[in-house]
């Protein structure tokens, strides 16, 4: 039986931590795991104040993060609802810099992180201890366009691999039902209800509610409440396999970030950041930083294909 929790059921778990600069971070646990149970899932909502700045860091487990309110930047990416970020274990990302509205986001993990955020550069040496580390992350936007039949399951671009990673925007019309993608090939599934409500066990779960499905529980039948539902369905990849991601190829010379494996392909350039196609690495401005983890140019090595 999947675990499910609505915001109403967990709001009393909210704690507040004061951070330098007069800022604070509030955390509400939706699915909590005790410190001595690293095999259990962990899901929480973070609400942090405007101006808060979270430095580049990594965790020791795979995780999804879903922005549900506010705005800011994650390295060079704009952070706004309903943005989805997936990071493999031991993949640095950040800094996360809050905008005027602060930022509210969910962190969803199939397994509990044994520690806290590990910051760069202090914990850089920890990354070097991990044999065959294959860092990878992706930032993407779900599409909640409904389907004429009342059931839409729109795949979120870029968030997939052959090891079971997958992410979808689920849109159900009032009372409509469907069967979710099967999580059994990977390490489990979260369903994050954003709008409307999902009916489960005869009860209505409104936004925000979090459901966790173990791999062995298989494909779940779900139904929308009277207002329909918009939700994210997030499947974790299998834990034991870390292949290089598709797309990590370049036609000619390429350079990669030794922290997070972001690839700069000279032929493609980075037009989104003002670097024209065909710009050799030597001509990339000296103040260039990694779009995903903010490492400087000296944190890049030439890639050998």
Q: Which residues bind Fe ion (CB under 5 A)?
A: 257, 259-260, 262, 290, 292-293, 295
Q: Which is nearer to Fe ion, 66 or 260 (CB)?
A: 260
Q: Which is nearer to Fe ion, 136 or 208 (CB)?
A: 136
Give φ, ψ of 121 to 5 degrees.
-95, -5
Give dist(CA 45, CA 31) in Å, integer: 10
Give dist(CA 208, CA 222) in Å, integer: 16
Give dist(CA 232, CA 187) in Å, integer: 17
Q: Are strands 166-172 and 177-179 parallel, antiparallel or unpaired?
A: unpaired
> Who's near 264: CB < 8 A, 6+ residues apart?
254, 255, 256, 270, 281, 284, 300
> Who's near 282: CB < 8 A, 6+ residues apart?
none
Nearest approach, Cβ of residue 53 and Fe ion (Å): 18
Query: What's the token pair of residue 265?
Result: 């392909």
Q: Which is nearer to Fe ion, 118 or 227 (CB)?
A: 118
Q: Which is nearer to Fe ion, 44 or 90 (CB)?
A: 90
Nearest approach, Cβ of residue 167 and Fe ion (Å): 22
Q: Which is nearer to Fe ion, 254 or 293 (CB)?
A: 293
Q: What is the torsion angle, in degrees rounded to the nearest 10, for the CA atoms of residue 264, residue 265, residue 269 and residue 274? A: 0
Q: Which is nearer to Fe ion, 261 or 266 (CB)?
A: 261
Nearest approach, Cβ of residue 135 and Fe ion (Å): 8
**DSSP string for 203-235:** EEEESSEEEEE-GGG-SPEEEEEEEEEEEEEEE
Contact (CB, 8 A) for 126 and 207: no
Nearest approach, Cβ of residue 299 and Fe ion (Å): 7
Nearest approach, Cβ of residue 60 and Fe ion (Å): 18
Q: Which is nearer to Fe ion, 62 or 292 (CB)?
A: 292
Can you give the C-alpha Rg of the chain in angstroms?
A: 20
Nearest approach, Cβ of residue 261 and Fe ion (Å): 7
Nearest approach, Cβ of residue 140 and Fe ion (Å): 17
């Amino acid at each position: 039986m999947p675990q499910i929790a609505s915001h109403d059921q967990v709001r009393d778990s909210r704690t507040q931590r004061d951070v330098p600069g007069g800022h604070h971070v509030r955390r509400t646990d939706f699915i909590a795991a005790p410190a001595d149970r690293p095999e259990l899932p962990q899901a929480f909502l973070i609400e942090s104040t405007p101006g808060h700045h979270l430095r580049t860091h990594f965790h020791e487990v795979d995780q999804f993060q879903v922005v549900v309110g506010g705005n800011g930047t994650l390295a060079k990416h704009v952070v706004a609802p309903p943005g989805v970020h997936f990071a493999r274990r031991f993949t640095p990302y950040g800094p996360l810099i809050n905008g005027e509205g602060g930022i509210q986001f969910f962190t969803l993990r199939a397994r509990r992180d044994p520690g806290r955020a590990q910051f760069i550069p202090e914990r850089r040496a920890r990354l070097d201890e991990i044999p065959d580390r294959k860092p990878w992350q992706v930032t993407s936007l779900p599409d909640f366009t409904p389907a004429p039949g009342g059931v839409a399951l729109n795949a979120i671009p870029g968030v997939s691999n052959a090891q079971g990673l997958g992410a979808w925007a689920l849109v159900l019309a009032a009372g409509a039902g469907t069967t979710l993608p099967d999580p059994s090939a990977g390490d489990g599934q979260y369903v994050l209800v954003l709008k409307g409500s999902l009916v489960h066990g005869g009860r209505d779960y409104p936004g925000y509610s979090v459901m966790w499905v173990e791999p062995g529980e298989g494909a779940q039948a779900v139904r929308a409440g009277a207002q329909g539902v918009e939700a994210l369905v997030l499947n974790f990849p299998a834990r034991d396999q870390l292949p290089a991601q598709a797309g990590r190829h370049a036609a000619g010379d390429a350079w990669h970030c030794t922290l997070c494996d972001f690839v700069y392909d000279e032929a493609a350039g980075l037009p989104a950041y003002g670097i024209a196609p065909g710009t050799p690495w030597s001509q990339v401005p000296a103040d260039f930083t990694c779009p995903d983890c903010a490492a400087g140019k000296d944190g890049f090595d030439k890639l050998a294909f």
